Structure 1
Amino acid sequence: MKFTETSYSNRINILAFTDHYVAVPVMVDSTDAAIVVNVDGKKILPAGTIIGGGFLSSLTAKATTQNDADAEGVLLYDVDVTYGDAPGAAVIHGFISKAKLPAAPDVAAVTALRGIKFLV
């Protein structure tokens, strides 16, 4: 795993209430086919992506995009997986602003994410 530091001019805050949330550490899978290379040649999974992959039941499971009934959390910050798997944080409880997500959550994903309330 290669560690790099990237400065972003602004960070998207997906949380509706920043003082009330629970996030768990995850390892984001760099081989996820849903992650595409951007114009700068980087593979970045954006904050607000609905993720799953079994990371809540297994410490070795990697997080992947999962906007369906198998969703387990929402990515809190952008994660750069250009150089391989990278650590991130998944919100599993809290209030999230639906308007700030990169894609609308599927109805099945909203049902699966019982600890998260999506606000307009």
Structure 2
Amino acid sequence: MASKKHRKNRKIIPYRRPRNDIGKLIFGVIFLYLLINIFIYMGHEKIQFYEVSEGGIVNDRPYTGLILREEQVYNADNSGYINYYLREGKRASVGSRVYSLDETGRLDSLLKEHGVENQTL
């Protein structure tokens, strides 16, 4: 029994491993960040996106009408072959090139050599 008393009298403190709370702290910060973003997302009005493509309407209805517009005809100073760069019915922006005038015919022959003559506008 003396040996048991002897053990109690010794001041032995068990070794504790240091707490590793860094992982818990990082997890808590990320979890809090996610919660805040979810609440912000739920609170805001949602933005809806629509893709609009050019084309016909499914329910086409024919109408008869009269369109009046002012047009001006410009005459070129020179004569030659004309090459259009826009299809008919398409819109052109301000300052964009719509056509070119080839006085010598070299551009027309170059286009024919490269197989572009079959394309129609």
TM-score of the alignment, normalized to the shorter chain, above 0.5: no
Kindly indicate which of the two structures has a greater share of residues assigned to helix: 2
Q: TM-score, normalised by structure 2?
A: 0.19
| Higher RCO (C-alpha under 8 Å, 6+ residues apart) | 1
Kindly indicate which of the two structures has a greater share of residues assigned to strand: 1
Bigger Rg, which one: 2
Q: TM-score, normalised by structure 1?
A: 0.19
